[in-house]
Structure 1
């Protein structure tokens, strides 16, 4: 069955790829995107390859989810909504609180208000949630119990203890986090993503719409922003390597993330948008494999065939988590999909793409200075 899919934030890293996947399978695609300079540059029609990639693929509406009029226009004819529009970045969210809450939570509320109170053809809404809603995620105690530890303390980290602790427990062992884990985000960004997901999963069934929530892990790959200092360490470290600058590795370098390649994320989102089995589901979208920051650095050195100095500094950011690993069992069992691109393979593809792009200015240091000025970076 051919759908008319509205992708909010559809000119971004994930959305533009998803639009091409949907259009290539015979679906009609509309994109609503604010085309913010932090992602697309000051002159998007000229500076944004992601926007240009939508030529002939989707109708593009320049607008924002914080505008009822823009949303109303974008919803015309849509049968499925993939709601990707959001401010992203854990660190920035801790001091640009109003902007994150306004876009992520109020924008989602406006979308649902229209769906609840106006005529439309929408039958499914897919919300891009995040691993950040789990906070520190799932751990095992010494006697095998699953626990969900609280956020790490500033006092412990200042003393060089970056591990996760829980009162009354001995050493804890990180394990993959499943969808039924406790939700206790440690950042403003995580809070807004939890609220987005809760709004969609609560309201949609009451108005006859199928909700689906996708808890993305750390998405990376060709096409991600090299300008935006809040898009992740692969872009940040790649720019530093190309500039020949030192890489400052926070904490002890053993903190880990679940990196999932863009093609795997797009396919999981495509299936969640079109498969009947996805209705009402909440799915982790990740590789299920932890990769430490030290491993990331070595993989990038290998992919670029060069190295720069590194320094394990012990710096840390308030709001960051120690580890995250997704349990992807539900994605496999319900949708029959398992992300397939190994990290080393994905990094090579990413690096090959980066080398074709201009070397960007170093906006990363400015972002760190902003956090340090607010006592969020120690």
Structure 2
């Protein structure tokens, strides 16, 4: 039986990982700051995620930016799943200090405690992100694998959203492996890269096994429908239920690797418990690219709704064009392959969403914040 600390464990992923571990006989403690952006103004009454995890785990309200909170949470723990982080590519570009303090500062404090104080921790699993790759891997016309620079504001302002090589040539998207060059295009991505580097570098020097999971775009029941930085499935679902039109940025052909929550939970539990995971860095994704217009079609079909869809050509600075993960290492080392196809995941998500309250105007406010800072064009 393991005794697991999950930082950020009252969140979308953490609450489900906690339930899964407890169902297998392990003890779980959760450390979570219960911020209002995720859990509402009064988490005890406004957060179903908190209620769910409180039924199965010991919950400690606190933050990874506090040494005292971390020290208390680590008592008698042998495994840490470090999920606590501020999330959201767009918001990270203007709330820089908050993202750096929570993501980098919190991880630094965790590793500092493990280095300098007595503990029983044997393994730390850190939640990294596909954002560490920036634009990821592409193939040039001559067959060379390249890692292109970030797209320019000038080109996108002219409606050219393609990822191009050094000579301006279009490139072919290929799955990104864990050995790819890391060059994040957002503050969020930078913080995830540093989080991962801190754990993977420090842990082996103190006899702790590190594991890094580079989550792709996670979705499914339980995802916040009010936090405008959680992903387009939640955002578009709320707009559909409000009877509002959907504004698709760029040309709608930008793509992401969407991975269903149940598959993410399975991969995370394996990373925490399987001996073969020690020291590994793993992409956790579906291995398939889905365009934004395909997301809209899947949601509209699942809801049985009719909404106006506009491809506006607007764009956000810091966004990538495409994303698809190579998941072969997850399969070869841990024997796991994601099993929930995107359309089936959307069906399950929409079935859950239908019974949830309809949110307000959080998304519109987030766009206004970005536009005011000239990050949304």
TM-score of the two chains, using structure 2 as the length reference? 0.99
Q: Distance in 2 between matches of 1:256 and 1:289?
A: 9
1:169 Cα deviation (Å)?
5.8
| Aligned match of 1:22 | 21
Contact persistence 1:18–1:270 (CA under 8 A) = yes
1:171 Cα deviation (Å)?
2.2
Three-state SS of the structure 1 residue aligned to 2:257 is strand
| Aligned match of 1:350 | 349
Q: Distance in 2 between matches of 1:192 and 1:224?
A: 22
Contact persistence 1:90–1:319 (CA under 8 A) = yes
Contact persistence 2:140–2:165 (CA under 8 A) = no
Contact persistence 2:49–2:222 (CA under 8 A) = yes
Contact persistence 1:8–1:84 (CA under 8 A) = yes
Residues 175-200 of structure 1, C-alpha deviation per residue, up to 9 Å, x if partnerless? Answer: 00000000000000000000000000
TM alignment of 1:1-378, pairs within 5 A:
2-168=1-167, 170-378=169-377
1:362 Cα deviation (Å)?
1.9
Runs in 1 of length 4+ with deviation above 4 angstroms? none
Three-state SS of the structure 2 residue aligned to 1:53 is helix
Contact persistence 1:141–1:169 (CA under 8 A) = no
Q: Distance in 1 between matches of 2:320 and 2:168?
A: 19
Three-state SS of the structure 2 residue aligned to 1:361 is coil
Q: Which runs of 5+ in 1 are unaligned?
A: none
Residues 58-97 of structure 1, C-alpha deviation per residue, up to 9 Å, x if partnerless? Answer: 1000000000000000000110000000000000000000
1:166 Cα deviation (Å)?
1.4
Three-state SS of the structure 1 residue aligned to 2:53 is coil
Q: Distance in 2 between matches of 1:243 and 1:24?
A: 37
Contact persistence 2:81–2:125 (CA under 8 A) = yes
Q: Distance in 2 between matches of 1:185 and 1:171?
A: 20
Three-state SS of the structure 2 residue aligned to 1:184 is coil
Three-state SS of the structure 2 residue aligned to 1:50 is helix
Q: Distance in 1 between matches of 2:202 and 2:150?
A: 30
Contact persistence 1:239–1:362 (CA under 8 A) = no
Three-state SS of the structure 1 residue aligned to 2:112 is helix
Q: Distance in 2 between matches of 1:55 and 1:196?
A: 27
Contact persistence 1:16–1:53 (CA under 8 A) = yes
Q: Distance in 2 between matches of 1:247 and 1:93?
A: 23
Cα root mean square deviation, aligned: 0.6
